[in-house]
Chain A
Amino acid sequence: MKWLYGAVLAAMLTGTAQAQSVVATGDLGLVVERGSGSLLLVDQSDRASLTRIKGLGDLSHASLVYSPDERFAYVFGRDGGLTKVDLVEKRIAKRVLQSGNAIGGAISDDGSLVAVSNYEPGGVRIFDAETLEMVADIPTGSKTIGLVDAPGKRFVFTLWDAGETWIADLNTEEPKITRITGMGNNPYDALITGDGRLYITGLFGEDGLTALDLWQEDPEPIRVLPGYGRGKAELPVYKMPHLEGWARAGQEFVLPAVGHHEVLWVDGDTLAETGRTRTHGQPVFAMARPDGRQVWVNFAHPLNNTIQVIDTVTKQVVHEFKPGPAVLHMEFTPRGNEVWISVRDAGKVMIYDTRTFEKTGEIDAESPSGIFFTARAHRTGL
């Protein structure tokens, strides 16, 4: 009889152990704590912080991407640190210092390669996603920005100093590089649309943006909104806007203007201007809710305590509020019912219902900046 108890007990223990070892990551996310070099692992459905993962170095302006199975995050630190974080075991799995000064990265469509964009030395380095061993080094001789993944195991990135965009095809051992010159003066960031077709880079050194149609055999620069600020005095730019793959809003793209207090609308097919919306300040992020019905905008210093919500049908501001000092980033839940907003100087991530605009929760965080939900794993350009 005793052995029976033992067997039952053993079975129960195994069951418990199994239950504990199952971690679903589909509604998890990471919040970058820029000052303390740590990440908060958060649960989007519970609106809760689960744990803090420390030891990631300088995370100012850090970003991250997810592996296709949503288990690992690859975190790109400003100090050149590339850290692989295990969301299941809630710890750092691997970490390398790959350069002196980095700015963002991307993961290939098949999840096998991670690319990092560097300021110093300027260029892109490509790593095996499993081992973090470097598999390719692509020096550009320029500060490199706007690095994204493109379908077909390719990466696309742009040179701030040289005004060129390079497409790196990683299907062969030696990357095949296509250089496109004449992208414009001082491109500061870029995005790729969710279908992987258009690569759009914003220009600091001139009024306008430049697009590439990646479905073309030899993509040529397409000028978008040339001279959009013509005749108007340019305002000082205290923070470069960001371009992210959340630009598609219905049939249009919404883009932040540089040096002007407005967001710009262009037709999704022709890229011709379809409108402008005057905003509270210089936009930093103009992000479409996943369904495309709203665009949420935050602003550069010193107007960075405010958010405006624009209705994409009327292009009018329908809501404005002040979450707190230094609103740095927003992330929608995958279906767009809620939005998480990092308010750096309040030390909080605040959560809002996107239809009622009511606050539904908040989480303590140390100088929070970027918020990244795992659903990004399945989106091109994120």
Chain B
Amino acid sequence: MLKTLLTIAFCLLAITSLALAEEQGTPAALVNLVRQDCGSCHGMTLKGGLGPDIRPDALGHYDIDTLSTVVLDGIPKTAMPPWRPILSEADARKIAEYLLKGDTK
């Protein structure tokens, strides 16, 4: 019984610390998505490829709302696709924040 309780307590602790870690930074899965999947057009270092440079200096003219909208709805008549079918509005916002502030690692 004690063992079960301890296991539950440990799990709760693990979940809480995971949630805290995610609140402080961009979730690892989203960073991976930006680097790998946005990266297939914008380059893994985001300096541009077939798509333009999306590092903070290049995105300076965007505010967070506009950038989130671009992520969600894409840019018509260009290769930038709408990510709304895959991403929630909250995730798009986190991605926009991440792009505007740059990678702090």
Contact = CB atoms under 8 A, between A and B. Distances in A.
Contacts of A238: 37, 40, 81, 83, 86
Contacts of A326: 36
B31 interface: no
Interface string B68-94: 000000100001011101100000000
Contact of A237 (B36, B39, B43, B81): B81
Contacts of B27: none
A58 B45 contact: yes
A78 B50 contact: no
Nearest to B84: A236
Contacts of B33: 301
Q: How large is the interface on B (under 10, 10 to 19, 20 to 34, 35 or more residues)?
A: 20 to 34
A71 interface: no
A204 B43 contact: no
B80 to A, nearest CB: 9
B82 A143 contact: no
Contacts of B43: 58, 60-61, 78, 101
A34 B40 CA distance: 12
Contacts of A78: 43-45, 49
B44 A236 contact: no
Contact of B50 (A60, A188, A236): A188
Given A34-B44, A240-B40, A344-B36, A61 B49 contact: yes
A237 B44 contact: no
A153 B49 CA distance: 28
A199 interface: no
Contacts of A344: 36
Contacts of B47: 101
Contacts of B44: 34-35, 58, 60-61, 78
Interface string B29-69: 00011001101110111011110000000000000000000
B50 A143 contact: yes
Q: Please classify the interface of chain A as helix (H, G, I), strand (E, B), loop, or mixed, using the class held by over half of its residues.
A: loop
Nearest to A234: B81
B45 A60 contact: yes
A119 interface: yes
Contact of A240 (B36, B37, B41): B41
B85 to A, nearest CB: 7
Interface in A52-71: 58, 60-61
A120 B83 CA distance: 27
A160 interface: yes
A104 to B, nearest CB: 11
B37 A103 contact: no
Interface of A: 34-35, 58, 60-61, 78-79, 101, 103, 119-120, 143, 145, 160, 186, 188, 204, 236-240, 301-302, 326, 344-345
Interface of B: 32-33, 36-37, 39-41, 43-45, 47-50, 74, 79, 81-83, 85-86
26 contacts: A35-B44, A61-B40, A61-B43, A61-B49, A78-B44, A79-B45, A101-B47, A101-B48, A119-B48, A119-B49, A119-B50, A145-B50, A160-B50, A186-B79, A188-B50, A236-B85, A238-B81, A238-B86, A239-B41, A240-B40, A240-B41, A240-B50, A240-B79, A301-B33, A326-B36, A344-B36
